[in-house]
Amino acid sequence: MFSSVLIANRGEIAVRVTRTLHARGLRAVAVYTDPDAGAPHVRAADVAVRVPDYLDGVAIVEAGLSVGARAVHPGYGFLAENAAFARQVEAAGLTWIGPPAEAIEAMGDKIRAKATVGPAGVPLVPGSDGSGLDDAEVAAAAREIGFPVLLKPSAGGGGKGMHVVERDADLDDAIAAARREARSSFGDDTLLVERYVTDPRHVEIQVLADAHGGVVHLGERECSLQRRHQKVVEEAPSAVLDATQRHAMGEAAVEAARACGYVGAGTVEFVTNADASEFFFLEMNTRLQVEHPVTEEVVRIRGARLDLVAEQLRVAAGEPLGYDQGDVRMEGHAVEVRLYAEDPARGFLPTGGTVLDLEWPGGDEAQRSSTIDGGARVDAGVAVGTEVGSRYDPMLAKIIASGPTRTAALDRLDAALAATTVLGVRTNLAWLRTLVTQPDVRAGRLDTGLIGRLPVPADTVPDDVLAAAALAGLLDLPSGDAPFDRVGGWRLGADPAPARWRLVPAAGATGDPVDVAVAGPPAGATVTVGETTASASAHRAGPELAVVLDGASRTYRTASGDGVRWLARDGAAWALREQERLRAARTAGGPGDGPLTAPMPGTVTSVEVAEGDHVTAGQRLVVVEAMKMEHVVSAPADGVVKDLAAKAGAAVALDAPLVTVVPDPGE
């Protein structure tokens, strides 16, 4: 076994791999770019080396050699499925902890992957099987298959560049967008088209193979809860597969692995219909999956708990698996959610900021390799002080809960989410808690379109949070015996005037200003929110704010930064800013009400109008990209382009002005 491993990655997966390396007495080598100099994965490693970019394979190999690493673990993303990088690693005399480069190449191209596994009897979705199709050929194939169809980049994965096309009229625009996104994400705009299975479920099989011909599958993961083809919730086992279906799908996955000469941990992905009575091969991911923890939580090999990273290390060191399919059992149920820096109320657009406060279920000890006694497992890549920007994937952490049944696992996950706090960055945490309590989710009635059909909860700030924010502000004010130290100021012959705040949602949230007044000391105050008055008291204990409002007691986590006060409770978080009383409230409306702003921090990839152009409602104006996702800013109404601030290639912050559309003076 090699004694020192370089992890060619960042974030939570780098921390996760380091944990297993240390558990086995191995040395962990991290790499980092300038923005990640103080990141958790750097602090967790034994030694860290700066590289220009996580995609710079030459620099990463040189970094490993410079500090005596003997093997490279790629994690997932970046260079994990890059055959050329695998060859670079091996050419340098290092051990590649992954499948052979030939298997990566065979499975990395979806067209070639189908040609490889089809002869082995793996069921395939009807669709195009040729490579290098031009736009006209892609369109012709789509029309021959019949709508709806799915456009997919031949290279890459993760749902990037995938478009469901329901009708012929949308086909040309979808092909153009899919090619742009594929080019940006993978450097290859080759597309394939296949039949879109309506009400589909996404079920994948974890496989593990050694270099001695041993191949087993480790059961399935249900990954049907997705948005824009990106997984959000994963669980094991699937709520729909029975033993016969599991055996058939598992055998197909094993045959797919054998067909490409696979070695290591990999995942074969299938799409099924609602009852899983038929299934089709989608692709094979030649790496560790983001959702691998749910498999680790339920799989037992001869009664022992599974560590997939440890198995990767053993296989890469040339050891045989040492067990066969009959030794693999699944016990209980596990569910994982992905915590993203994104704003559900703004169409799940990426967000950013500085992490001001963190609380995981179970505290720091929650960041462990398995759940214990029904607790939660947290695989996290952020810490207090982490700057979350648009350069890398917006996933901050994964929260996993397990139990003897699916119901118990979901209950424990809900409790874990309620006990989680992230302040300083808007996240999908509260939305995740709503999602896992949805009746269809609880009943296991899942398909890949379910999230898109669910309403997004209103982005409103409850009155108790507004009151808590004002009470926190009151505690921040000086309080002494001198007349002018009194809260609200000194008045001759009268009690001090109430302290007043005008609070408005901040950090990308929207909403009208609300006036809040607090009369009296924090230990016995009267709070008025809008037109509602309540008795209140409040006191602080570290980052926690305990509030009693009309007899109801609640505890909040609080933090402040850049003039914004953050409060959280029960898995939800709110950002509030004090608004100057004479400042006009911002309003949204038609042309002339102000500039159209950046919906997320990112880069302007396209400016499709010029100043003075006449535009119509819905016309594309500017395209902003962040984390390989495009967002089109369109004209809200007919008008004329004015104050065009957007420039192609320029970086923009959240809510940065891009362009204004004003009424046509001639109309």
Q: How far apart are CA 516 and CA 465, in angstroms?
A: 11
List Cβ neighbours of 484 (8 Å cut-off, separation of 6 or more): 490
The per-residue pLDDT for 362 is: 78
Nearest 5°: the CA angle 204, 206, 209 is: 145
Amino acid at 77: G
Q: How far apart are CA 627 and CA 600, in angstroms?
A: 10
**Do 631 and 617 form a contact (C-beta atoms < 8 A)?**
no
Q: How far apart are CA 417 and CA 397, in angstroms?
A: 12
Q: Is residue 235 part of a domain?
A: no
Q: Is residue 259 part of a domain?
A: no
For residue 77, what is the domain's CATH number? 3.40.50.20
Q: Which of 277, 283, 263 is nearest to 216 (CA)?
A: 263
Q: Is residue 246 part of a domain?
A: no
The per-residue pLDDT for 628 is: 61
**Same domain flag for 494 and 550:** yes
Q: What are phi and psi of 489, to 5 degrees?
A: 95, 165
| Share of the chain residues as helix, strand and coil, in percent rounded to the nearest 5 | 25, 35, 40
Q: What are phi and psi of 639, to 5 degrees?
A: 170, -160
612 burial type by CB count under 10 A (0-12 exposed, 13-18 middle, 19+ buried) = exposed
For residue 557, what is the domain's CATH number? 3.30.700.30
When divided into structural domains, the chain yields a total of 5
Q: Which of 16, 44, 19, 20 is nearest to 32 (CA)?
A: 44
Q: Which of 626, 225, 189, 138 is nearest to 450 (CA)?
A: 225
Within 10 angstroms of residue 374's Cβ, the number of other Cβ atoms is 15
- Choose one of 545, 578, 611: the last residue of a domain: 578
Q: How far apart are CA 30 and CA 224, in angstroms?
A: 33
**Same domain flag for 467 and 561:** yes
**Same domain flag for 402 and 496:** no
**pLDDT digit string (tens) for 281-323?**
999 999 999 999 999 999 999 999 999 999 999 999 999 999 9
Q: Is residue 567 part of a domain?
A: yes
The per-residue pLDDT for 492 is: 45
Q: Is residue 343 part of a domain?
A: yes
**Same domain flag for 90 and 20:** yes
**Same domain flag for 648 and 609:** yes
Instruction: Specify the residue for token string 């901050």.
Output: 396
Pair of tokens at residue 451: 């999230």
Q: Is residue 110 part of a domain?
A: no
Q: Is residue 262 part of a domain?
A: no
**Same domain flag for 608 and 567:** no
pTM of the model: 0.82
- Choose one of 54, 80, 97: the last residue of a domain: 97
Q: Which of 425, 431, 429 is nearest to 382 (CA)?
A: 425
Instruction: Specify the residue for token string 């594929």.
Output: 182
**pLDDT digit string (tens) for 220-269?**
999 999 987 889 999 999 999 999 999 999 999 999 999 999 999 999 99
For residue 142, what is the domain's CATH number? 3.30.1490.20
**Same domain flag for 573 and 509:** yes
Q: Is residue 296 part of a domain?
A: no
**Do 380 and 397 form a contact (C-beta atoms < 8 A)?**
yes
387-388 and 353-354: which strand pairing?
antiparallel
572-578 and 514-519: which strand pairing?
unpaired
**Do 528 and 516 form a contact (C-beta atoms < 8 A)?**
yes
Q: What are phi and psi of 411, to 5 degrees?
A: -60, -45
**Same domain flag for 486 and 565:** yes
95: left (phi over 0), alpha (psi -120 to 50) or beta: beta
Q: Provide the β-strand partners of residue 526.
A: 519, 535
Amino acid at 271: V
Residue ranges for the chain with pLDDT beneath 70: 129-130, 157-158, 363-374, 478-496, 580-594, 627-629, 666-667
**Same domain flag for 600 and 636:** yes
The per-residue pLDDT for 588 is: 32
Instruction: Specify the residue for token string 């191995």.
Output: 26
Q: How far apart are CA 193 and CA 142, in angstroms?
A: 6
Q: What are phi and psi of 215, to 5 degrees?
A: -140, 130
Q: Which of 660, 659, 661, 647 is nearest to 603 (CA)?
A: 647
**pLDDT digit string (tens) for 137-148?**
999 999 998 899
**Same domain flag for 627 and 544:** no
Q: How far apart are CA 533 and CA 526, in angstroms?
A: 7
**Same domain flag for 601 and 550:** no
Q: Which domain holds residue 65?
A: 4-97
- Choose one of 522, 551, 578: the last residue of a domain: 578
**Same domain flag for 480 and 537:** yes
For residue 420, what is the domain's CATH number? 3.30.470.20
